Amino acid sequence: MPAPRGVGLILLVVVSGLVVGSLLGELLGALLREGWVQDVLTRGPTIGLTTPATLDLRFVSLTLGFSLKVNLVGLIGVVIAALALRRL
C-alpha cells in the first residue's frame, strides 16, 4: 500500500520540477542559435507581481514581490517530477 502524500510534498515536487525544468530551458536556450527552437524553449508567460507591491505603514515599510516564469521545458520538468513522485 503506497504511503499517503501530503499537500506540502506534492507542492514541493511540482515547484522543484518547474524550477529545475525552467533552468534547463534557459540553459538550452543559451546554447542554441537564435531561431524558433530557442523561442519555444525560453519564451513563456510570467505569472505573479511583475512590479513589487509596497505597504507603507509609516513606521515600517513592507515590499512584496513574486514572479514565476514558465516555459516549455519547465512544464516537462513538472511532468517528470510528478512521474517520479508517483513511483516513490
- Over residues 11-64, the pLDDT tens digits come to 888 888 888 887 887 788 788 788 887 777 778 788 887 788 899 999 999 999
Q: How confident is the model at residue 84 (pLDDT cuts 50, 70, 90)?
A: confident
Whether the Cβ atoms of residue 73 and residue 37 lie closer than 8 Å to each other: no
CA angle 7, 69, 37 (to 5 degrees): 120
Short-list 77, 2, 11, 84, CA closest to 44: 77
Q: How confident is the model at residue 4 (pLDDT cuts 50, 70, 90)?
A: low
10, 14, 69, 79 from 83: Cα distances, Å: 11, 10, 22, 6
Cell of 12: 514541493
Kindly report the pTM of this predicted structure: 0.64
